[in-house]
Amino acid sequence: MTSATPYHHGDLPRVLRAAAAEVLAERGVAGFSLREVARRAGVSHAAPAHHFGDATGLLTAVAVEGFRYLTEATRAAAASSDDPLDSLVAVGRAYVSVALDHPGHVAVAFRWDIVDVDDPDYQDWGNQAFAVLEGAIERLAAERNPDLDIGLASALCWSMVEGLLIVHLPLAAMTERKGGAAVPPIPDLAEAFTRLMVHGLAP
């Protein structure tokens, strides 16, 4: 939403979150400002502060929304197969799909320096998102490796996917600009990496 389509009615906090996510996706955290969010939402410069207090409040709300998107997507993915490995793979693919669809949200999800980590909703939705991954790994461990350290394995899988997003997305963009061989789509890489790890997690 931009200033060319001004806000008239409805859920203004939602509109402001959407505008904030748009700014983050285009400009990153360094280019974020409440003034630009208000301009894109077509409201007064005071509106974001009125609803969210300050930039930290709005960025935290965007991060919460991102964790909600992630939780909903990974829950559906985890329930998509009776096979625990396929279920875990689906969770990984869903994670990166959310990141690709909502880059502004994921830009702040783990930026503990700019969000309110003590916010109850931030903690709740973050914990729910991680619990989905833990549940998928618990299913896999129950069938193939009962002695697996669920917490450690969950941290490994989460770190792997985050590493893909941090390293491979810029790599793919740079390779494309230079005319090199195409880097596989990141959801495919998430699946390949997950299956490769599982051969070690559940021998």
- Give a yes or no: residue 128 inside a domain: yes
Q: pLDDT truncated to tens, each residue of the chain (203 aa)?
A: 444 445 445 689 999 999 999 999 999 999 999 999 999 999 998 999 899 999 999 999 999 999 999 999 999 999 999 999 999 999 999 999 999 899 999 999 999 999 999 999 999 999 999 999 999 999 999 998 999 999 999 999 999 998 888 887 666 666 656 666 666 788 888 898 898 888 766 55
pTM: 0.86
Copy the structure tokens of residue 191.
Answer: 């699946």
Residues near 65 by Cβ (< 8 Å), separated by ≥ 6?
17, 21, 105
Same domain, 88 and 30: no
Same domain, 18 and 82: no
Same domain, 99 and 127: yes
CATH code at position 103: 1.10.357.10
Q: Is there a contact between 121 and 63 (Cβ–Cβ < 8 Å)?
A: no
Three-point CA angle 126, 134, 107, nearest 5°: 35
Same domain, 75 and 46: no
Same domain, 111 and 134: yes
- Give a yes or no: residue 109 inside a domain: yes
Query: What is residue 7's predicted lDDT score, i.e. its pLDDT?
Result: 47
- Give a yes or no: residue 94 inside a domain: yes
As a whole number of angstroms, the distance between CA 88 and CA 77 comes to 8
Same domain, 75 and 140: yes
Same domain, 70 and 49: no
CATH code at position 38: 1.10.10.60
Query: What is residue 165's predicted lDDT score, i.e. its pLDDT?
Result: 86
- Give a yes or no: residue 58 inside a domain: no
Same domain, 47 and 87: no
Same domain, 27 and 48: yes
DSSP the chain: --TTS---SS-HHHHHHHHHHHHHHHHTGGG--HHHHHHHHTS-TTHHHHHHSSHHHHHHHHHHHHHHHHHHHHHHHHTT-SSHHHHHHHHHHHHHHHHHH-HHHHHHHT-TTTS-TT-HHHHHHHHHHHHHHHHHHHHHHHHH-TT--HHHHHHHHHHHHHHIIIIIHHHHHHHHHTT-PPPPPHHHHHHHHHHHHHHHH--
Query: What is residue 180's predicted lDDT score, i.e. its pLDDT?
Result: 62
Same domain, 22 and 71: no
Number of domains in the chain: 2
Same domain, 78 and 12: no
- For 1-16, letters b (16+ CB in 10 Å) and e give eeeeeebeeeebeebb
Half-sphere exposure of 21 (CA within 13 A, CB side): 22
- Give a yes or no: residue 170 inside a domain: yes
Same domain, 18 and 78: no
Among 10, 33, 53, residue at a domain's last position: 53
Whole domain around residue 43: which residue ranges? 1-53
